[in-house]
Structure 1
Amino acid sequence: MQDRQRGDRMSLELSTAKVDDPSQLSYWHQVVSEAFVPYEVAVPRRRTEGFRGTVTAHAIGDMQVATVDADPHTVFRTPSLIRRSPQDDFLVNLAVRGSVIVTQGERDAVLRPGEFTLYDSARPCRITGPDRFGLVSLKIPRPLFTAHCRLPQDATATVVRGDHGVGALVSPYLRSLTRHAAELAPDVVQQVGINVLELLGAALPKGPASGDGSALPRSAQWLRARHYIAQHIADPQLSPAMVADALGVSIRYLQVLFRAEGTSPSRSIQEQRLERAARLLTDPRHAGRTITDIAFGIGFKDASHFTRAFKNHYGAGPRAYRDRQSPAGPV
C-alpha cells in the first residue's frame, strides 16, 4: 500500500501484487472498502489461484476519481452492511476494459467499454466484473452531487452510452482525469470538479420532462461546446452550425454562450486550432513534420491562411516560432 500526499490532495496506489496468494482476496476486500465505500466481496467458485487487483485513486476537491483493474469478482452492499457502515455518496462507474454490471433496484446496467452509469451507496447495490475488467470510478458526496445534477427518482443503474451526445464528452474527460489528476494545481482543482459535475449532470437521464439542451446551465453548455470543438478540431468542415447541431441548440444560442465568455464560436475554433498547432510545433515527437502537414492536420484548408493566422495570434510565423522554442535551435 502506498499513499502519496500532494498539497491538500491524497493519491492512493493499492495492489494485491505484493501480498502472498492466500491473503490476496482478503487484502482486496480491505482495498476496495478503503478506497471507495465498505463492500462485501465474492469471487467465482471456479477460481482457485490468487487474486490480482489494483486501484489508483486521486482526490478532486471533495470528490475522488479512481481506476480499477481486477480479476473477475463482485462487490456488493447489503442492507445490514449499509446499517453498519452508512455512506452517503453517489458513484459513477465507467467501463474501460471488459464488461461491468451495476445492479440497483430492479435494474441491471450492463456496461461495455466507454459506457457508464450511476449508483447510490446508501442503497443496496451490486457491481460485477464477470471477466477481468478495468473501470474508472468517480465518488461524489451526495450534497455536492445534488447541488449540480438533477436526477429523476430511482434512475440509478441506467446505462449512458459513450459514443454519442454528452456521454461521448464525459467518458474521455473521466479517463483523462485519472491520468492527470495528480498534476493539477490546487487553484484549478475546484473548477475542474465543477466542470466534471456539470458535464455529468448534462449526460445523466432526465426523465420525460427533460426538455432540450438549451435548458441546461450555460456554463455546462459552453463546456460541452469547447469539448466538442477540441474533439473535432482536425475536421476541416468543423463550423458553429456543426457544434450547435451536436449540442442540440440553435446557432444563435451558441453565439450567446460564447459571447458571455468574450469570444465567438468561430474565433474559439480558430484559437483552439492555433493552440494545438503551437503544441505540435514545439513537441520533439513532431519535429519531422512539415508546417503544412501540421496545418492540414488541425483542420486548416490553406497553409498561407494558417501562417497569417498563427503570426497574428503569436506574433511570429510558425517556422520562426518553432525555431525559437526548439532547445537545439532551428530545425
Structure 2
Amino acid sequence: MKPHDAETESLQPPTAIHLSTEDISPWHRHEWLKEIIGREYAHVDITPPRNVPLLNEMDIYTWKQLRLSCIRSNAIKLKRLPQEPLLSSQDAYFGVVLLSGEYMLEQAGREVFLSPGDMTIYDATRPHRITCPGSFSKLIVSIPRELMRQKLAGVEHCTAMKIPGSKGIGAVAADFMRASASQATGMSQLAFDALSDNALDLFTLALQEIRPPTSQLSRSRSLSLYNIKACVEKHLAHPQLDSQMIAQATGLSSRYINELLAAEETSLMRHVWERRLEKTHQDILGACQTGLAVSDIAMKWGFNDLSHFSRAFKRKFGLSPRALKAQAQAAKAKSDA
C-alpha cells in the first residue's frame, strides 16, 4: 500500500467484519457458529437454545493493539475446549461489557453473574464456561496476553470477578467502551485507534479496584517487574540470555528479580523459557506465509537442542512443532479454498 493510500484509509471510518447466523441456513448454523467462534475467539462447544432459533451476530473492529467486538445473541452456553490457540491473536484476555440480558462466567473456580453495565475479564486460553439464559448483547475487548500482564501484575487473579458498572471507575470504563463502540462509524480509523489506549487504561484501573490484595504489588515493585519483562522481550532471541544479563541490564539483583516473579508463580529463566516457546508457537503459525522451517524458528529463539525443544513444545501445547505447522497449513488451505 502506498503512503498516500494508507493515510487516506486512516481517515476513513473503521470497517467491521460482520458475521451473522442469519446469513447461514438454519441446519448449518450450529457448526458454522462453532467454527467462527473457534477462529475469532476460542475453541468452544456450543449448546444452543431449544425453544428459539440459534441467532448470533458480531461486528469485529481492529482497535490498534486490541480488537473490539459487538455481539448480539439469543440464549447460548459455551464451554472452552482443551486445545491450544491456533492463532496468536487468541492468546489473549477478553474484557466483557454486558449491554443487555444476563451473563454468567465460570473460570479458575470462580463464577460471576453480570447485570447490564457490569464488566469482567477472562483468560481465553484457559478452561471456562459462559451461560446466557436469554437474549443478550455484549462487548468483548480482546487484549493480547503480554500487553495485559504489562499493564497489571496479577491480572490472572482477576478473572471471573465482577466490576460493577453502576458506580466509580467501573461506570466510567464501561460508559467509555459503550460510547466507543456505538460511535465507531462516526469517526475516522485514526481517531478510533486513539481511543484504544484510553479504554485499556480505564479498564486496567477498574481491574485494580477488584484485584485481590494478595496479588497486589507496590508501584515500585510493579514497575520493576514491568522493566524485567521488557528487558526479557528485548533480548529474548539472544542465545546467551541468562539471569546475570537481565540483572546487569535492569540494575536489579538476581535474587530480587526471582522474588518478584515468584509472585506470579514462576522464575526468571522459566519465564524466559515460556516466552520463547510462545514466540516459536507464533512463528510456526506464521510459517505458512514466511516458509521458515521449524528448526530455523527454534534456533532463532535460542533453542539449540532441537530434541529438547520439541519435547518441551509438545508438553506445553499438546502437539509437536511439526504437527502444529501441518495443522496451521491445513487451516490456511481450507480458508483459502
TM over 0.5, shorter chain: yes
1:7 aligns with 2:12: no
**Partner-residue secondary structure (3-state), 1:33:** helix
Does the 8 Å CA contact 1:119/1:156 hold for their aligned counterparts? Answer: yes
Deviations 1:272-307 (Å, cap 9, x if unpaired)? Answer: xxxxxxxxxxxxxxxxxxxxxxxxxxxxxxxxxxxx
Residue number in structure 2 paired with 1:17: 22
**Partner-residue secondary structure (3-state), 2:84:** helix
Deviations 1:209-242 (Å, cap 9, x if unpaired)? Answer: 65999xx99xxxxxxxxxxxxxxxxxxxxxxxxx
Identify unmatched segments of 5+ residues in structure 1.
218-331
Residue number in structure 2 paired with 1:65: 68
- Across the aligned residues of Structure 1 and Structure 2, the Cα RMSD in angstroms comes to 2.9
Q: 1:69 to 1:153 in 2, by over 3 A?
A: closer
Letter in 1 for 2:9: G
Q: 1:24 to 1:174 in 2, by over 3 A?
A: same
**Partner-residue secondary structure (3-state), 2:106:** strand
Task: Write out aligned runs for 1:92-107 (5 A).
Answer: 92-107=95-110
Letter in 1 for 2:20: S
Task: Write out aligned runs for 1:114-263 (5 A).
Answer: 114-204=117-207, 205-208=210-213
Q: 1:149 to 1:189 in 2, by over 3 A?
A: farther
**Partner-residue secondary structure (3-state), 2:182:** helix
Deviations 1:116-143 (Å, cap 9, x if unpaired)? Answer: 1000012111111111111111111112
User: How far 1:151 sits from its partner (Å)?
Assistant: 3.4
Q: 1:85 to 1:59 in 2, by over 3 A?
A: closer
User: How far 1:177 sits from its partner (Å)?
Assistant: 1.6
Residue number in structure 2 paired with 1:321: none
Does the 8 Å CA contact 2:85/2:91 hold for their aligned counterparts? Answer: no
User: How far 1:192 sits from its partner (Å)?
Assistant: 1.5
Q: 1:83 to 1:61 in 2, by over 3 A?
A: closer
Q: Across the two proteins, how many residue pairs are aligned to each other?
A: 208
**Partner-residue secondary structure (3-state), 1:50:** coil
Distance in 2 of aligned mates of 1:169 and 1:212: 24
Residue number in structure 1 paired with 2:84: 82
Deviations 1:161-218 (Å, cap 9, x if unpaired)? Answer: 00111001011111112122344434444432211111011001232265999xx99x
User: Which protein shows a greater Rg?
Assistant: 1
Residue number in structure 2 paired with 1:27: 32
Distance in 2 of aligned mates of 1:35 and 1:84: 10
User: How far 1:43 sits from its partner (Å)?
Assistant: 2.1
Q: 1:58 to 1:83 in 2, by over 3 A?
A: closer
Distance in 1 of aligned mates of 2:116 and 2:140: 13
Does the 8 Å CA contact 2:153/2:217 hold for their aligned counterparts? Answer: no
Distance in 2 of aligned mates of 1:11 and 1:92: 19
Distance in 2 of aligned mates of 1:145 and 1:136: 17
**Partner-residue secondary structure (3-state), 1:7:** helix
Does the 8 Å CA contact 2:157/2:211 hold for their aligned counterparts? Answer: no
Structure with the larger helix share: 2
Q: 1:203 to 1:77 in 2, by over 3 A?
A: same
TM-score for the superposition, normalised by structure 2: 0.55
Distance in 1 of aligned mates of 2:160 and 2:51: 31
Greater relative contact order structure (CA < 8 Å, 6+ sep): 2
Residue number in structure 2 paired with 1:312: none
Does the 8 Å CA contact 2:44/2:78 hold for their aligned counterparts? Answer: yes
Letter in 2 for 1:35: E
Deviations 1:96-134 (Å, cap 9, x if unpaired)? Answer: 111111110111111110111000012111111111111
Does the 8 Å CA contact 2:180/2:192 hold for their aligned counterparts? Answer: no
Letter in 2 for 1:25: H
Q: 1:211 to 1:147 in 2, by over 3 A?
A: closer
Residue number in structure 1 paired with 2:94: 91
User: How far 1:61 sits from its partner (Å)?
Assistant: 0.7
Q: 1:183 to 1:38 in 2, by over 3 A?
A: farther
